[in-house]
Structure 1
Amino acid sequence: MKAVVADTLESIESYKFKDLEKPAPKKGQVLIRVAACGVGYVDALVALGGYQVKPPLPHTPGREVSGTVEAVGEGVTNLKPGDRVMTMTANGFAEYALAPAAMVISVPQTLSFAEAASLPLNYLTVSHGLKDRAALAAGETVLIFGAAGGVGSAAIQVAKALGARVIAAASTEEKRTFALAHGADEAIDTDPEGWRDRLKALTGGKGPDVVFDPVCGPLFELAFRSLRWRGRHMVVGFVGGPIPALPANLTLMKGAALMGVDVRQHMEKELPQAIATLQELAGWAAEGKIRPPVGTVYPFDQFGAAMEAALSGKGTGKVVLEVAADGGA
């Protein structure tokens, strides 16, 4: 099979196509013919050695895949060859990928392979953050940073499915329009000058109940200061640059919580809960409650451009790598 491989994490140019032996599923495993692979900021960061956990070498990027079941290992009875599926696994930039059967989720007919490859990691991250950590309740207001990106747009949809009011923060008019088109109730710019006043006007002077923040940029402290009493600020990532600090007294003054959302450790330590959430999300997709916004789709031989696009944060929706032009059929 063809796969994207690097022996060093020095640069995107380190990654090249290699011909590898097609793997065979072992007991409890599923072999998937990959149709599409989602490409996020973290995927590109990991590929360049910039994430806090560095991957073993040689490295093949990509964690979110969709496609069709090619073969199943011993003991796998809930899936069969030809089934449309999605999963999170390693080595997604390849024509075939192995995954534990428990992590392989059937793809609803309502989703394309590109949409399915945009769902698992982003929507699991968001559900873990908004449901498990923030305990977001119907009728509450959530402010979402990076609202036009893959994680941010997923947060809009999950928050709306939970009955919340959504204010989308984005840097350009194009991105704010995109966020509104995908379910946000209101949109706000990210110019720090007078920003708290504009946010206050959108919340009737009360501020948001929850901040969902995959950016943690220049507005980090201003957002926390804007929270209502007993507000919750979710720290999801740091695409906004240097990691910000927060005066500890603000948590006391607001009766508020600053909470981390680490989906990697959630899966390591609470896997059964994560799998149940993925099944729930697939059900929501089948019901039309969520639909991943796909951004630019790159052909397999443009894997480098796909990683660069994901790293830039300039686009809208989720970057997707189309591994099989025939959809993996």
Structure 2
Amino acid sequence: MRAVICNSFNGIGALEFGEIADPVPGPGQVLVDVHAAAVSFMDTLIVSGRYQLKPVLPFVPGSDAAGIVLAVGEGVQRVRVGDRVACSHWYGGMAERMVTPEWGVTKLPDSVSFEIGSTVRYAYGTAHYALTRAQLQPGETVFVSGAAGGVGMAAVNLASQQGATVIAGTSSAAKGDAAREQGAAHTIDYSYEPVRSRLLELTEGRGVDVYFDNVGGALFSTVSRVMAWGGRILPIGFTGGEIPSLAMNLPLMKNYSVMGCYWGAWTERQPQESHLADEQLFAAVGQGTLRPQVSEVLPLPSFAEALQRLERREVMGRIVLRAKQGPDAPA
């Protein structure tokens, strides 16, 4: 099969596109004929050796995909050959076929295309898990940094659907407009606006109830000082390149919490709860309640362009790689 191949942890430029042996599902695993694979910022970190997980070399990058089940291993009960599914694992998605554990596979509603389906599980799963951990309540204020990225847009979409007032933090006016289309009530362009004073202005001095942080770095340091009493900080990722530290007198004085939100590890530890959440999310996407955003669909051999655009922060929503040509359900 054709696949993107990572032979060393030397970044996007060292990746190759070529032929490798077809994967074979073992017990509890599912083999999927991949039609579409979504690209994530996590993929750029993994191929550079900068993620907390390092697969054994060589490997195929790509955490999210969608396609049709070709075969199932012993003990698999949730899906069968011929099912349309979305699937995800730590790696393996940027190929014509992918093997994933059964807990990483969810049936795709007929109304959801492979391209859209490939973007849901990681981005919306992460956002849903984090906001559930925070016990988000209607009427609370949520500040989402990196709000125009895949996970950020999912958080804006979900939080607004749950009745929260969402403030989207972005690095450009165009990205702010994209976040508004997903339900953000306000935007802050932190490329030039004073984040601290704007947040206090928009919350009438109360501060932020829930901080959904995709960026880290200096922005985290700023927002950690404008949290509301009893607030919750959700560290999701560090796309700014710097893992921040927190002065512990801040949560002490405001009685706020920092809540870890490592969705990938949670799905492995709590597969039943994860599967129920997946079913709810895909049903909402199928009904049009949630609106995953795909900015562009590129052919699989254009993987380097997609990953490089992510690294340069040029993407709004998700970029998808098409592994198969042919008819599909409507987006």
Gaps of 5+ in 1: none
Hey, what does 1:228 align to over in structure 2?
Answer: 228
Hey, what does 1:128 align to over in structure 2?
Answer: 129
Separation of aligned partners in 1, 2:80 and 2:245: 50
Code of the aligned partner of 1:165: T
Hey, what does 1:287 align to over in structure 2?
Answer: 287
- Provide closer, same or farther for how the CA distance between residues 74 and 146 of structure 1 changes in structure 2, counting only shifts above 3 A: same
Hey, what does 2:116 align to over in structure 1?
Answer: 115
Code of the aligned partner of 2:121: P
Q: 5 Å matches for 1:1-329?
A: 1-89=1-89, 90-132=91-133, 134-191=134-191, 194-326=194-326
Q: How many residues align?
A: 328
How far the C-alpha of 1:218 sits from its partner, in A, is: 2.2
Secondary structure, aligned partner of 2:31? strand
Secondary structure, aligned partner of 1:276? helix
Separation of aligned partners in 2, 1:70 and 1:177: 41
How far the C-alpha of 1:22 sits from its partner, in A, is: 2.2
Separation of aligned partners in 2, 1:16 and 1:311: 18
Separation of aligned partners in 1, 2:150 and 2:193: 27
Separation of aligned partners in 2, 1:99 and 1:241: 29
Code of the aligned partner of 1:222: T
Secondary structure, aligned partner of 2:228? coil
How far the C-alpha of 1:88 sits from its partner, in A, is: 0.9
Secondary structure, aligned partner of 1:290? coil
Deviation per CA, 1:220-273, whole angstroms, max 9, x where unpaired? Answer: 122121111001111111111322222111111111112222123212332322
Secondary structure, aligned partner of 1:277? helix
Structure 1 segments, 4+ long, off by >4 Å, are none
Q: Which deviates more, 142-151 or 312-321?
A: 312-321
How far the C-alpha of 1:192 sits from its partner, in A, is: 6.7
Code of the aligned partner of 1:93: M
Deviation per CA, 1:174-195, whole angstroms, max 9, x where unpaired? Answer: 0001100111111112147633
Tell me if structure 2 keeps the 8 A contact 1:34–1:92: yes
Q: Which deviates more, 189-198 or 35-44?
A: 189-198
TM-score, length basis structure 2: 0.93
Tell me if structure 2 keeps the 8 A contact 1:30–1:100: yes
- Provide closer, same or farther for how the CA distance between residues 172 and 21 of structure 1 changes in structure 2, counting only shifts above 3 A: same
How far the C-alpha of 1:312 sits from its partner, in A, is: 2.1
Q: Which deviates more, 83-92 or 67-76?
A: 67-76
Separation of aligned partners in 2, 1:79 and 1:144: 35
Code of the aligned partner of 1:168: A
- Provide closer, same or farther for how the CA distance between residues 242 and 78 of structure 1 changes in structure 2, counting only shifts above 3 A: closer
Secondary structure, aligned partner of 1:30? strand
Deviation per CA, 1:39-65, whole angstroms, max 9, x where unpaired? Answer: 111111101111122221002100111
Separation of aligned partners in 1, 2:56 and 2:78: 31
Deviation per CA, 1:120-179, whole angstroms, max 9, x where unpaired? Answer: 1111111111102x1111221111011111010000111123221111111111000110
Separation of aligned partners in 2, 1:327 and 1:217: 44
- Provide closer, same or farther for how the CA distance between residues 305 and 193 of structure 1 changes in structure 2, counting only shifts above 3 A: closer
Secondary structure, aligned partner of 2:217? coil
TM-score, length basis structure 1: 0.93
- Provide closer, same or farther for how the CA distance between residues 15 and 241 of structure 1 changes in structure 2, counting only shifts above 3 A: closer
Deviation per CA, 1:64-107, whole angstroms, max 9, x where unpaired? Answer: 11011222334445433332110112311110111233431111
- Provide closer, same or farther for how the CA distance between residues 101 and 261 of structure 1 changes in structure 2, counting only shifts above 3 A: closer
Code of the aligned partner of 2:141: T
Code of the aligned partner of 2:200: K
Code of the aligned partner of 1:7: N
Tell me if structure 2 keeps the 8 A contact 1:34–1:67: yes
How far the C-alpha of 1:210 sits from its partner, in A, is: 0.3
Tell me if structure 2 keeps the 8 A contact 1:233–1:257: yes
